[in-house]
Amino acid sequence: MSLHNDNKNLIETVAEKVEQQQLAESSSDGFSRRGFLKVTGIAGGGLVLAMTMPSIPSFAQTSNDLESTIELNAFVRVGSDGKIQIYAAHPDIGQGVKTALPMIVAEELGVKWEDVDVLMAPIDDRFGRQGVGGSTAIPRNFQLLREMGASAREMFIGAAADAMNVPRDELKAENSRVVHSSGKSMSFAELAKLGIQNQPVPDPGTLKFKDRSEYTILGSSDITGIDNYNLVNGNPLFGVDISIPEMKYAAYHKCPSPRGKVVSANLDDIKKLPGITDAFLVEGNGDARLLLDGVAIIGTSTWAVFNAKQQLEVEWDYTTASKDSWTDMVARAEAGQNQLGDQIVKEVGNVDNIFADAANKTIQSHYQYPFISHICLEPMNCTADYRKGENGVDDTVELWPPHQFPARAYEVAEQVFGMKKEQVQINPVTRVGGSFGRRVYGEYISEAIAISKQAGVPVKLTWTREDCMRHDFFRAGGFQTLKAALNPEGKLVAWQNHFVGITVGDRPASGARLRDVEFPMLNLDHVKGTQTTFNIGTPCGPLRAPSANATSFVVQSFIHELALAAGRDHLEFLLEIMGEPRWFEPDNDRSLNTGRAADVIKLAAEKAGWGKTLPAGQGLGLAFHFSHRAHVAEVAHVSVDANKKLKVHKVTVAVDVGPIINMSGARSQIEGSVVDGLSGMVGQKITMENGEVEQTNFHEYPVLRIPATPEIDIHFIESEYPPTGLGEPALPPLVPAVANAIYAANGDRVRHLPLTDQGYSV
């Protein structure tokens, strides 16, 4: 097959952009603030206007539902029965945005939730940025969607003012009606029939929003997932459920050592297998994020192609393949961990003087955490229908990509196949079976396009579990050496971190760098942060709460070590480090606020009964970690027996993400993050030798099951700050909370993960 290779000037690949975006969104440094301002700059002006201007004639979708409804703005339509249709424009990957975001619109509109139909939005520029990641769906869209709801509400109010011949300011919208101060009211259904589409679209600058005390939808626990009925009945919702006419099933086999090149395969034998219609080699471009070499197998069922895949005999050329070895990485990192790194990330005051002062107590510890995998339960898949153009007409491709940023498929098609946007039709999928940062890369989309193009038939490409586990973009393993000094009063006075991180293709892997704003480095007079990186070939990428998911373990465990060394209570010691209430980074209201931090720390401690006496072999562990603009503290209550069998009884979580949008969904994200954090720390570890990932399926990569699930007790501080997202930030504190609780239970300090490597079991 031919590849479009003249795109070297497209410096940023899709994945890089996504990663940069995620980093920007998840971090709280100056760079991200500029990005944020840029986005709100647009959202506050032109974008909103474009979105509130009805565009019925150009709207492409033509179902009956749509024909019989009136568009009030990009996100809202009303039917003659008064039912409101709200578009869900963002992929629901399990984080609940398909329910939570329409709730924001509905609240401002004044419609009863029962009168709302949530529709899947097509992929279209008019919806703005249709992507999710970095726990940003709520903070990015809250204001925009309020405006959509308020704008539509004002059109109803205008229609009612005309019909009742009363001033607008005597009217308000509630329960799907516009109500006059006299008590007289008209339903949305009645108003929809009175030419509501002729009402002027209000200027976004004039819109007023409800006060929190008036909310009837936002913050509700009673509103449950919009697709729940379809889910419990097994209806088709996922990318992997898609079926299109003439579709064949495809599998793709890549070199077990990433970037090995395909030389030949027993294609003739494969083609003779039952149910196999075609098999061929695919030439990639050497970029794991776009398209790697492999062997494609096409057939009449997924089973036929999976089965044939097992019988493949492929000759690979390993010259360009990854040679990574986890054993070597550990040896290399350990050899250098007592030195400082060659890259200085931060230097304030003089740590060496403080460490040299004999009056101070100096403590040093090495921490280590492994590569881990995303293991989304829905395997990577994509359906593609590539059509060759005839008579000078361009080729086209229609795609169904389960992805965090479906519109990235345009860029993938351009970068790999040289296709223009007009040649590509992207269809949204109704739900995505988990993502956790995995589905930000486009390689499974390219693979589906390449296979459909070469085979000349529409295909549904499905990865096997083994493909998903071995060809992931892993959370990079890391090694951090922390050193700190306590003065004679037991106060933390100096902090040093040497971070041994990973680069892939000379770019830092997601989360594998030391951030200069890492807690508590901004809070101290003597700080040194240094970094060493080594380059590897294993693809790495963002995984739920990138950076924070590992650094929380290191930093918050070490703070506990320091509290113990100082002979002080961990809670009191942590609150002292927080200090006076203020934004951790001056003038950055997306940064850690030490007052909000102290409040959640105190709340979690109080609710968990911090300080109570527990039986021998049990312990409480506390941790706080700030990420994704969220302040989260957790206390774990554990038992550990003499054989290091661990039972996590209960995790108490205190969270401040501002007002909660969907209470049930918010709690779900926290419950899921606690389970995910525990699952990862207990037994998960990806290793590779000679570039080849050694784990292939769940029997070699243990996941947490229902018996080991703790009770999870959740408390919110619904502060007045703007609402922020919860898909990630409840995960990071879990890991150190459990590690600290283990210490409290048995005196064993866990500095290397996973726990099973240290002899623990659950």
CB 118 within 8 A of CB 226: yes
**Smallest gap from residue 673 Cβ to other proteins (A):** 7
Phi, psi (rounded to 5 degrees) for 348: -135, 140
Nearest of 625, 515, 603 to residue 559 by alpha carbon? 625
* Smaller CB separation from other proteins, 260 or 729: 729
Q: Are strands 711-716 and 646-656 parallel, antiparallel or unpaired?
A: parallel
- Scan residues 581-640 and list those touching other proteins (CB under 8 A): none
β-strand partners of 70? 78
**Which alpha helices (DSSP H) does 361-513 contain, by range?**
408-417, 443-455, 465-470
**From the list 331, 356, 377, 393, which residue makes contact with ligand FES (rule: CB under 6 A)?**
377
Binding mask 423-442 for ligand FES (x = CB under 6 A): -----------x--------
Smallest separation, CB 387 to other proteins (Å): 23
Partner whose binding site includes residue 236, from ligand FES, other proteins, none (CB under 5 to 8 Å by kind)? other proteins
Applying the rule CB under 6 A, the residues between 79 and 98 that interact with ligand FES are 94
CA–CA distances in Å: residue 503 to residues 27, 62, 327:
19, 48, 17
- Nearest to other proteins of 19, 227 (CB atom): 227
Sheet with 171-174: list strands edge to edge.
171-174, 177-180, 185-187
At residue 232, the 3 state secondary structure works out as helix
Name which of ligand FES, other proteins, none residue 241 binds, using a CB cut-off of 5 to 8 Å depending on partner kind.
other proteins
Minimum Å distance from CB 707 to other proteins?
A: 4
Q: 559: closest CA among 544, 545, 572, 546?
A: 572
Considering the rule CB under 6 A, would residue 231 count as an interface residue with ligand FES?
Answer: no
Near other proteins by CB under 8 A: residue from 31, 209, 303, 534: 303
Distances (CA, A) of 209 to 50, 172, 644, 659: 20, 12, 55, 15
Cα–Cα distance for residue pair 479/751, rounded to 1 Å:
10
Residues within window 530-589 making contact with other proteins, judged by CB under 8 A: none
User: Nearest approach, Cβ of 429 to other proteins (angstroms)?
Assistant: 12
Contacting ligand FES within 60-79 (CB under 6 A): none
Which amino acid is located at 268 in the chain? D
Q: Select from 517, 507, 571, 548 the least CA-distant residue to 680.
A: 548
Residue recorded with tokens 């609402």: 723
One residue of 228, 264, 338, 353 binding other proteins per CB under 8 A: 228
Q: Find all residues with CB under 8 Å of 503, minimum gap 6, and list them.
A: 509, 512, 533, 534, 535, 536
What are the φ and ψ backbone dihedral angles of 341, each rounded to 5 degrees?
-80, 160
| Nearest approach, Cβ of residue 127 and other proteins (Å) | 22
Which residues, in sequence order, are CB contacts of 606 under 8 Å at separation 6+?
none
Helix or strand holding residue 397 (H, E): strand 396-400
Q: Cβ 186 to other proteins, closest distance in Å?
A: 33
**For other proteins, which is the closer residue by CB, 249 or 355?**
249
Residue 116 CA to residue 258 CA, distance in Å, equals: 47
**Could you tell me the maximum CA-CA distance found in the chain, to the nearest angstrom?**
85
Residue 365 near which of ligand FES, other proteins, none (CB within 5-8 Å, type-dependent):
none
Choose, by CB under 8 A, the member of 375, 476, 521, 762 that binds other proteins: 375
Judged by beta carbon, residue 284 or residue 680, the one nearer ligand FES is: 680
Q: From ligand FES, other proteins, none, which one binds at residue 237 (CB under 5 to 8 Å depending on kind)?
A: other proteins
Which of 37, 56, 263, 377 binds other proteins (CB under 8 A)? It is 377
Q: At what angle do helices 548-565 and 663-683 cross, to 10 degrees?
A: 70
The candidate with the shortest Cα–Cα distance to 460, out of 386, 522, 407, 527, is: 386
How far is the C-alpha of 19 from the C-alpha of 23, rounded, in Å?
6
Closest CA to 27 of 717, 511, 497: 511
| Smallest gap from residue 378 Cβ to ligand FES (A) | 8
| Comparison of 406 and 434: residue with beta carbon closer to ligand FES | 434
Angle separating helix axes 30-43 and 14-26, nearest 10 degrees:
100
Return the SS3 of 591: coil
Binds 225: which of other proteins, ligand FES, none (CB < 5-8 Å by kind): other proteins
Nearer to other proteins, 237 or 292 (CB): 237
DSSP code at position 546: T
Tally the C-alpha atoms within 13 A of residue 720's C-alpha that lie toward its C-beta: 2
Least CB distance from residue 304 to other proteins, whole Å?
8
Nearest CB to ligand FES, comparing residues 49 and 703: 703
Binding track, positions 706-745, relative to other proteins; x by CB under 8 A: xx-x-xx---------------------------------
Question: Which residue, 534 or 698, has its beta carbon nearer to other proteins?
Answer: 698
Q: Which of residues 589-618 bind ligand FES (CB under 6 A)?
A: none
Q: Is 312 in the site for other proteins (CB under 8 A)?
A: no
Contact segment (CB under 8 A) with other proteins among 384-392, 417-425, 501-509, 662-670 equals: 662-670
Residue 699 makes CB contacts below 8 A (sequence gap 6+) with: none
Our finding on whether 232 is near other proteins (CB under 8 A) is yes
| SS3 state at 288 | coil
In angstroms, give the least distance from the CB of 377 to ligand FES.
4
- Which residue number, 688 or 734, has a Cβ lying nearer to other proteins? 734
Q: Which of 14, 86, 88, 93 binds other proteins (CB under 8 A)?
A: 93
What is the total residue count of the chain? 762
Nearer to other proteins by Cβ, of 293 and 676: the residue is 676
Interface pattern 378-417 for other proteins (x via CB under 8 A): xx--------------------------------------
- The residues of the shown chain that bind other proteins, judged by CB under 8 A, are 92-96, 224-225, 227-229, 231-238, 240-241, 243, 249, 274-275, 300-304, 306, 375-379, 431-434, 436, 462, 464-465, 664-665, 668-669, 671-676, 679, 697-699, 703-707, 709, 711-712
